[in-house]
């Protein structure tokens, strides 16, 4: 995703040879701008690390979008909130003076307990582009392998916001109504999407600047070939501070998006949740965050719930096992994390009365990635933050919204890369495996066929008009489609099916779900804005009506 040339331009050193091959494809990248945000809230949270035997009124599991929204609104309502997050609090700099590593030179900070990277675009010219990152460490990006797919997720205080591309896209109204018919869409579009956009710090690129910015040559080239083939392109809002990016391009600030930073975190420019929702929640004095704390069990107690938590160190050793009592528990561990926990709790008899539907309705948002071998220069300097998409969602025979993704290799590659979001109706379920004690996911390789068909129809037309071909060396040897991984896991604990219409697990009063697991497998666009807005809607209702 990045190249080296801009590194030399910033005076941070030129990397050559094999490192040029160690880039990753990032689709859905993001940056953070609030570099000067005080980190005192994290210090405060650390001082209040949850202890064995503690009793808390509200425990939130996970610090991604759903958890951060719940934390802020509850804290603002004067409630004391304890949040536990299995990943680390990313506040400490490494030997290089930076908190996060970039995609060109990944080290142990990149991946969640791996000794070799597992890059989304894992090949180049048919050879593996992955590299050794020993020792295994509590890194920022998890690549969680299931039988027929692997799911990328952020690990750390801020969840997916740490690693994602920051694209904050509102779904089309008609599609939102189709996927979540029980939700009042008028209220969502009038109140909760704007509330989420405001709190997330969503901003738009200066379109005049875009037209001449060196770092977006790749987007302009993909726009041209899409438009020539009759497809519409749209600018996409983002939580990366585009004002900061303008300065990066001008070389007046330290580069982040322009230094191949994204899927392993951004050191600057990105308004990740630790800079927005969680910072605001902490500022109330009502939130404590315990990082490197993983919830392993939840079961009813005499009053409320008993929550079992494993505290780990950054090497993965369990340093403490804690049992906590919570009057209310909010599951916000993400589509995979929440589904795995609930399915395991039902199967092992800890929460036996959860509905049979728990774990079902999981989808990959129709994700499929693809690269074209273009004829136009895409640029050695590419912003890791996408700002444009090809919008062919109106094509009833195969809707596609394709993010124009960077390929910041630091050298010219002529590669046009895309993360296509398609309408794929296949759904999978999580199930507890009594043999292994783990939770499996029933997704099959063949399930991605409708996504490939829709994307192929669109990109075949683009290739045909442009006289170009697909790259077949980026996702394996002679493999065109990146169809075995997911950036947008959704579902597993569906709204108005497994929960009530606001995320309550009604068979267990005081248990709630507040994350991407509520959404039935698809949003038609990148999902975090929808997850955030839905959480805003649900927590407002819950605070107003439930006794906290
Ligand atoms: P999430 O953000 O995953 O937060 C869940 C948190 O819970 C994580 O921090 C976990 O570590 C933690 N957790 C899990 N289990 C436990 C446990 N047992 N105990 C304690 N903590 C636990 O969930 N979406 C967009 O809209 N735009 C983009 O540009 C975009 N780009 C992406 C790029 C990449 C590389 C990736 C991986 C994802 C991207 N996404 C993007 C997806 C987006 O980040 C994702 O939909 C949201 O982060 C999901 O939000 P949740 O709140 O559901």
**294: its two tokens:** 């993983």
Total residues found in the chain within this entry: 548
**Residue 371 CB–ligand 1 contact under 6 Å:** no
**Residue 265 CB–ligand 1 contact under 6 Å:** no
Going from the Cα of 15 to the center of ligand 1, the distance in angstroms, rounded, reads 31
d(CA 531, CA 192): 11
HSE on the CB side for 460, CA within 13 Å? 6
pLDDT band at 86 (very low <50, low <70, confident <90, very high): very high
Q: Is 488 a catalytic residue?
A: yes
Q: What is the pLDDT of residue 419?
A: 98
- Spell out the domain ranges in the chain: 4-27+51-87+101-545
**537: its two tokens:** 């809607």
Q: What is the pLDDT of residue 510?
A: 98
Q: What is the pLDDT of residue 18?
A: 28
Going from the Cα of 528 to the center of ligand 1, the distance in angstroms, rounded, reads 8
Question: Ligand 1 atom 31: the closest Cα is on which residue?
Answer: 28
pLDDT band at 320 (very low <50, low <70, confident <90, very high): very high
**Residue 167 CB–ligand 1 contact under 6 Å:** yes
Q: Which residue has the higher pLDDT, 127 or 312?
A: 312
Q: What is the pLDDT of residue 548?
A: 86
**Residue 295 CB–ligand 1 contact under 6 Å:** yes
d(CA 484, CA 21): 21
**Which of 490, 473, 479 is closest to 534 using CA atoms?**
490
Each residue's pLDDT tens digit, 380-398 = 999 999 999 999 999 999 9
Q: What is the pLDDT of residue 24?
A: 33
pLDDT exceeds cutoff 60 at 192: yes
Place of tokens 């582009």: 129
Rg of the chain taking only CA atoms, in angstroms: 22
Q: Which string of DSSP letters, residue by residue, matches 147-207?
A: SS-EEEEE-STTGGGGTSB-B--PPPHHHHHHH-TTS-HHHIIIIIHHHHHHHHT-B---H
Q: What is the pLDDT of residue 280?
A: 98
Q: What is the pLDDT of residue 506?
A: 98
Reduce the secondary structure of 69-129 to three states and give it as a string. HHHHHHHHCCCCEEEEECCCCCCCCCCCCCCCCCCCCCCCCCEECCCECCCCCCEECCEEC
Each residue's pLDDT tens digit, 8-59 = 222 222 232 223 333 333 332 222 333 334 444 443 444 579 999 999 999 9
Average pLDDT over residues 398-410: 97
Q: For the chain, percent helix, then strand, then coil, each to nearest 5?
A: 30, 25, 50
Contact 218, 404 (CB under 8 A): yes
pLDDT band at 439 (very low <50, low <70, confident <90, very high): very high
Q: What is the pLDDT of residue 139?
A: 98
Q: Which helix (H) or strand (E) holds 233?
A: strand 232-235
Average pLDDT of the chain, as a whole number: 92
d(CA 73, CA 65): 12
pTM: 0.93
Average pLDDT over residues 129-144: 97
The percent of residues above 90 in pLDDT, for the chain, comes to 90
Q: What is the pLDDT of residue 444?
A: 98
Q: What is the pLDDT of residue 450?
A: 98
Each residue's pLDDT tens digit, 245-279 = 999 999 999 999 999 999 999 999 999 999 999 99
Distances (CA, A) of 139 to 66, 255, 281, 410: 21, 21, 25, 24
Question: Helices marked H in 408-488 — which ranges?
Answer: 449-466
What lies within 8 Å, CB to CB, of 374 at 6+ separation is: 221, 222, 225, 414, 415, 416, 466, 468
Helices and strands: H and E segment counts in the chain:
14, 21
pLDDT exceeds cutoff 90 at 186: yes
**Residue 196 CB–ligand 1 contact under 6 Å:** no
> Burial code of 427-442, b = ≥16 C-beta within 10 A, e = fewer?
bbbbebeeeeeebbbb
Going from the Cα of 129 to the center of ligand 1, the distance in angstroms, rounded, reads 25
d(CA 371, CA 163): 21
Residue from 261, 403, 536, 540 carrying the catalytic annotation? 403
d(CA 59, CA 307): 9
First to last CA, the chain: 46
Q: Which helix (H) or strand (E) holds 243?
A: helix 242-249
**503: its two tokens:** 């995320």
Going from the Cα of 162 to the center of ligand 1, the distance in angstroms, rounded, reads 8
Q: What is the pLDDT of residue 1?
A: 32
Q: What is the pLDDT of residue 126?
A: 79
Question: Coil, strand or helix: which one is 508?
Answer: coil
**Residue 272 CB–ligand 1 contact under 6 Å:** no
d(CA 439, CA 377): 45
d(CA 53, CA 144): 31
Q: Is 412 a catalytic residue?
A: no
Domain 4-27+51-87+101-545 fold is: FAD/NAD(P)-binding domain (3.50.50)
């Amino acid at each position: 995703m990045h190249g080296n040339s801009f590194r030399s331009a910033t005076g941070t050193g030129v990397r050559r040879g094999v490192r040029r091959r160690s880039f990753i494809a990032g689709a859905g990248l993001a940056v953070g701008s609030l570099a000067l945000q005080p980190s005192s809230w994290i210090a405060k949270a650390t001082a209040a690390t949850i202890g064995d035997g503690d009793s808390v009124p509200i425990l939130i599991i996970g610090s991604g979008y759903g958890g951060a929204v719940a934390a802020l609104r509850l804290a603002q309502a004067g409630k004391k909130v304890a949040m536990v997050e299995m990943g680390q609090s990313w506040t400490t700099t490494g030997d290089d003076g930076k908190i996060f590593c970039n995609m060109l030179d990944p080290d142990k900070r990149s991946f969640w307990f791996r000794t070799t990277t597992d890059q989304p675009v894992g090949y180049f010219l048919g050879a593996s582009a992955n590299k050794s990152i020993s020792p295994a460490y509590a890194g920022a990006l998890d690549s969680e392998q299931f039988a027929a797919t692997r799911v990328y997720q952020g690990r750390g205080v801020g969840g997916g916001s740490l690693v994602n591309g920051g694209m904050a896209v509102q779904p089309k109204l008609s599609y939102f109504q189709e996927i979540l018919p029980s939700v009042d869409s008028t209220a969502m579009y009038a109140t909760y999407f704007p509330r989420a956009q405001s709190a997330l710090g969503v901003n738009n690129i200066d379109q005049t600047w875009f037209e001449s910015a060196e770092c977006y040559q790749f987007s302009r080239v993909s726009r041209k070939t899409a438009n020539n083939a009759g497809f519409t392109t749209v600018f996409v809002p983002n939580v990366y501070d585009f004002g900061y990016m303008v300065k990066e391009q001008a070389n007046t600030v330290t580069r982040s998006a322009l230094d191949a930073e994204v899927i392993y975190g951004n050191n600057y420019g990105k308004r990740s949740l630790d800079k927005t929702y969680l910072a605001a929640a902490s500022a109330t004095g009502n939130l404590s965050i315990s990082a490197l704390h993983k919830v392993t069990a939840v079961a009813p107690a005499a009053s409320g719930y008993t929550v079992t938590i494993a505290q780990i160190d950054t090497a993965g050793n369990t340093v403490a096992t804690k049992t906590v009592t919570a009057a209310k528990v909010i599951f916000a561990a993400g589509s995979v994390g929440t589904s795995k926990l609930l399915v395991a709790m039902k199967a092992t008899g800890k929460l036996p009365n959860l509905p049979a539907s728990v774990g079902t309705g999981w989808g990959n948002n129709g994700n499929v990635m693809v690269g074209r071998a273009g004829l136009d220069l895409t640029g050695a300097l590419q912003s890791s933050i996408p700002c444009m998409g090809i919008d062919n969602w109106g094509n009833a025979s195969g809707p596609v919204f394709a993010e124009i993704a960077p390929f910041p290799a630091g050298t010219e590659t002529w590669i046009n890369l895309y993360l296509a979001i398609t309408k794929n109706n296949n759904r999978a379920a999580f199930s507890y495996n009594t043999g292994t004690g783990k939770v499996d996911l029933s997704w099959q390789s063949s399930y991605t066929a409708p996504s490939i068909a829709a994307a192929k129809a669109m990109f075949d037309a683009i290739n045909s008009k442009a006289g170009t071909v697909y790259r077949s060396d980026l996702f394996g040897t002679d493999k065109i489609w990146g169809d075995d991984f997911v950036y947008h896991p959704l579902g597993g604990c569906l709204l108005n099916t497994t929960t009530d219409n606001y995320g309550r697990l009604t068979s267990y009063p005081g248990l709630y779900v507040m994350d991407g697991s509520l959404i039935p497998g698809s949003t038609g666009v990148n999902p975090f804005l929808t997850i955030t807005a839905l959480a805003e809607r649900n927590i407002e209702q819950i605070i107003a009506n439930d006794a906290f």
